[in-house]
Amino acid sequence: MATEVILPKLGQTMEEGTIVQWFKQEGDSVKRGEVLFTVESDKATLESESPARGILRRILVPAGETVPVLTPVAVITRTADEDISAIATEAPPPSVVGAEPEPEVSRAAPSQPEASKAPPGRIFASPRARMRAQEMSVDLRALAGTGPGGRIVERDILDHVESQPKATPMARKRAVDLGVDLANVAGTGVGGKITQEDVEEAHRALAAAAAPRPTPAPVPAIRLPQAEVVSTAPLTGLRGIIAERMARSAHTTARVTLITEVDATAFVDVRTQLKAQVSQEWGFAPGYNDLVGLIVARALRELPYMNARLKGELIEYLSSVNLGLAVDTERGLLVPVIRDADTIGLREFGTRFRELVGRARDGKSLPDDLSGGTFTITNLGMYDIDAFTPVINLPELAILGVGRIQPQPVVRENEIAIRQMMVLSLTFDHRLVDGAPAARFLQRIKQLVESPYLLLG
């Protein structure tokens, strides 16, 4: 009996994964529980085990390819000559949790009548179809539904996208905005996929072609030296996920960044005292990230309107403060999440943070280590960065950027004094909160940094 090996769902938020490496080849014997391959999600790289004993007859998804979760990636049989012709090589897109089921719809052959169209005016589409259309930038008005009464279902969206040139979601959205036909755009992305830049370049070319041009005077051709490409890297896996999410955040949020300068002299003193007093007992020296994390968690508890996210057309205010702290790893930027950060002390905060960072940098993060965050902190102070505009980690409301601490001359009580100064940058989504409430939140963080004894008292 043949057994399909599926791409596992490694966590609640995982939607797709990339096969990193196969440890077995077609024709090899495998044991139940033996590691077959490694899979990379947006959270971590984990090993996937064989669900059965037998022969690895066929690998359906080679290393380097990204597919949705629950997609069949291989076939295992008990014997080497077992017929596997009936095993599907592709699985339908995974169901969306909470979405209503859709009826099975057979694809009409050319000789069959066309699918009935919905009445003019209102567009009838299932919730899953609307969600897919939004994700893939498909105009529902251009489709004829194959569901009951001409209703548009998810399969209609997927069939339409399959029939179109390969393009990224941002490219499709940009094409709709600019009125560019993707059929006339040459793709420069991976595998010839059309990117947003390709669409914009095609639009500029069309605009230039339509504009009247004066006859230019002939000029001698000048051949400029071209830079040599020394290497390339595919925009896939974690790097591709980061690129897609950062672009989506930049294009879908109404970003505003507030910047404030903070006197961190007392903050530095407290950290120095704690380092001397508790490092041996705790097994680690409390750092600035630990203290900033506790301060932000305290501010979120006091001003809960900043502990929110956008879901559809609803602003959800959250009861738990799950604090994400951005970490630089060899694989790229990861954000481990400390859950219920407002309910724990400095020692537990520091212990959890170091465990999460260690797993992230070793590529061994658990599926839930990097999900469920409600607010993110990113610190570039160790790279001598004073201030910056961080990108919101969707679907969160805001992110706090922390700059370096350095001594500077400042005026205190009409006298110049040397103080330890730091810059904080709060980027927030103006759709969810106004400037004044966001400023009060940043002001509260500043107060706690300048008087850190209030936090420890």
The residue to which tokens 């404030």 are assigned = 260
- Nearest-10 Cα torsion for 199, 169, 69, 88: -60
Give counts: helices (H), strands (E), the chain. 10, 19
CA distance 117 to 128: 19
Provide the 10 A C-beta neighbour count for residue 316.
14
Residue 430 annotated among the catalytic residues of the structure: yes
Pairing of strands 323-325, 375-379: parallel
CB 322 within 8 Å of CB 374: yes
Nearest to 394 by CA among 310, 304, 303: 310
CA distance 379 to 387: 10
H-helix segments, 58-193: 127-136, 154-163, 169-178
Nearest to 287 by CA among 194, 409, 189, 405: 405
CA distance 270 to 283: 18
Bridge partners for 222 per DSSP:
none
Amino acid letter for position 288: Y
Please tell me whether the peptide bond between 113 and the residue prior to it is cis, using omega within 30 degrees of 0: no
CA distance 420 to 434: 31
Q: Which H/E stretch holds residue 406?
A: strand 406-412
Q: Is the dihedral of CA 120, 125, 131, 135 positive or negative?
A: negative
From residue 62, how far is each of 22, 31, 183 by CA, in Å?
Answer: 8, 20, 29
Among residues 160, 203, 251, 430, the one annotated as catalytic is 430
Q: Which residues are catalytic?
A: 430
